[in-house]
Amino acid sequence: MSDFPSSKFERGKIFAKTGLRVGSNYAKHYVNSSIGKDSDKNELHKKTATEVFGEFTKLRGTALKIAQSMSMDQGFLPDEFADVMTQAQYKVPPINKAVVRSIIKQELGKYPEMLFKNFQPEAMAAASIGQVHRATLQDGTAVAVKIQYPGVRDTISSDLGLARTLFRRLVKSGSNIDSYFDEVKETLLLETDYLFEGKQIEQFHERFSGSSVITPRWIENLSSERVLTMTFIDGMHLGEYLEHNPSQEDRNHYGQLLWNFFHDQIEDNREIHADTHPGNFLFTPDKKLGVIDFGCVKKFPEDFFYNYLKLLPVHLKQDEEEIIELYKKLDVLQKDPSMDENEKRYFEFCRDYGYIFSKPYENEKFDFGDPGYIAKIKGFTKNAPLSNQPRGNKNFIYSTRVHLGLYHLLMKLEAKISTKKSIDVVENALNSMQV
């Protein structure tokens, strides 16, 4: 792709330009407000988010992964900002058709028209790392072909280097942020290895085939590190699905499938699908849950996963002494909250947020469409105590992404879920671990 900025200098300029644009937009708003001029803050958020998304689209890769994270925000960002960033999940402008042909030729040895019975040159979806095309195998099997953007893998280190430099200016002197960035880098390198993803597709198919979850099959002979061919799954993403005004019964049905998929992964204690955002799930015509992206799959260290899962029963019991001990093991607390006012404030926030987060497990059913509950979740994140010191085990980056992503999807669906067996699933998983 000729306009893909691949050098650290080029990408650094775009990062800097984006930061200046955001600062300028909000500065103008506050100046206008101070002198009595009308200024629509909602429109400001949307305008700024659109501009940021436009710049991140040029960068693709790591930058658009940041945008995806923004779209899943549950309170820190204005709703208008998060809504715009949802586009990063599957609505990024595609790369040139000629570039697509050349990538396939380079990776698979032949042009697409020679490999497939039919290949659609227009992308059906485009996201942060690659875009997807519909195609048909010679035997008539419908497939999806994911093509990685040129240079994405090569820019991960430089992008994270720029971000690391920025964060070092923001965090407390002496804080160790390297472990967090190393975790992100390792995961992104795996996400850009489509052979790794193909193997994960097969593993998840083995685990969930025959259930109400449907996954693709990997077409290994038409795949490489930068091209991934898999069987096609027909269905709608969350946004499109909601535009059809589904019944409450249908919302509950798909919400239950999402909830069960999450807890089934906990129950068999293997790899976890760690990219829980709307672009990775489909609601199929035959009422199944399609899961279509397996680049971000995590096998958490057992000691961390044990303590993370234990957060749930401990918060349900509301045993403060046990909560404090667990927070210390997970590096959430760094000092005794009874001896330090700031630590006490941070502990109380985390404890109360944990109570709210555990609410769905208290009874046999839970309504994720409850406006009061949604407001509480958003209220907690908006009022989080600010800290310039990283908190928590590095694995929280993805475990929280999974759990928050699930709640985000269920709240969007306004689904009413049966949760009566879920706490038992967690307890059984804890009992099965030797920690």
**Sole residue written with tokens 């589904």:** 246
Dist. CA 74–CA 70, nearest whole Å? 9
Dist. CA 395–CA 290, nearest whole Å? 26
In a domain, 128, yes or no: no
In the chain, the number of structural domains is 2
- For the chain, the residue count is 435
pLDDT at res. 70: 43
Using the 3D structure, point to which of 88, 115, 150 is the last residue of a domain: 88
| 177 vs 225: which has the higher pLDDT | 225
Question: Which amino acid is present at 65?
Answer: K
In a domain, 112, yes or no: no
Task: Give residue 30's domain range.
Answer: 8-88
Dist. CA 51–CA 39, nearest whole Å? 18
In a domain, 35, yes or no: yes
pLDDT at residue 157 is higher than 80? no
In a domain, 205, yes or no: no
Dist. CA 263–CA 272, nearest whole Å? 10
Inter-residue long-range contacts of 117-125, CB under 8 Å, 24+ positions, other chains counted: 119/145, 121/97, 122/94, 122/97, 123/94, 123/95, 125/90, 125/91, 125/279
Backbone CA torsion sign across 108, 111, 114, 119: positive
- The residues with which 418 forms a beta bridge, in sequence order, are 365
Instruction: Give the pLDDT band (50/70/90) at residue 101.
Output: very high
Are 65 and 85 in contact by the 8 Å Cβ rule? The answer is no
Are 276 and 405 in contact by the 8 Å Cβ rule? The answer is yes
Dist. CA 141–CA 286, nearest whole Å? 19
In a domain, 1, yes or no: no
DSSP tag of 22: H
Which segment of 30-44, 173-187, 347-361, 404-418 scores lowest on mean pLDDT? 30-44
In a domain, 276, yes or no: yes
**Sole residue written with tokens 């875009």:** 131
- The three-state secondary structure class of 200 is helix
Chain segment 343-388, per-residue pLDDT in tens: 898 899 899 999 999 999 999 999 999 999 999 987 776 666 655 4
Are 387 and 285 in contact by the 8 Å Cβ rule? The answer is no
Across the chain, mean pLDDT equals: 81
| 268 vs 349: which has the higher pLDDT | 349
Dist. CA 405–CA 298, nearest whole Å? 15
Rg (CA), the chain: 22
Pull the structure tokens for residue 95.
């790369």
Give this prediction's pTM: 0.79
pLDDT at res. 37: 46
Instruction: Give the pLDDT band (50/70/90) at residue 38.
Output: very low
| 265 vs 77: which has the higher pLDDT | 265
pLDDT at res. 30: 42
Using the 3D structure, point to which of 44, 70, 88 is the last residue of a domain: 88
Using the 3D structure, point to which of 56, 88, 120 is the last residue of a domain: 88
> What is the side-by-side strand order in the sheet with 289-291?
213-214, 289-291, 281-283
Dist. CA 100–CA 96, nearest whole Å? 6
pLDDT at res. 31: 40
pLDDT at res. 91: 55
Longest dimension (CA), the chain: 70
In a domain, 192, yes or no: no
Which segment of 132-136, 157-161, 202-206, 226-230 scores lowest on mean pLDDT? 157-161
In a domain, 225, yes or no: no
| 309 vs 91: which has the higher pLDDT | 309
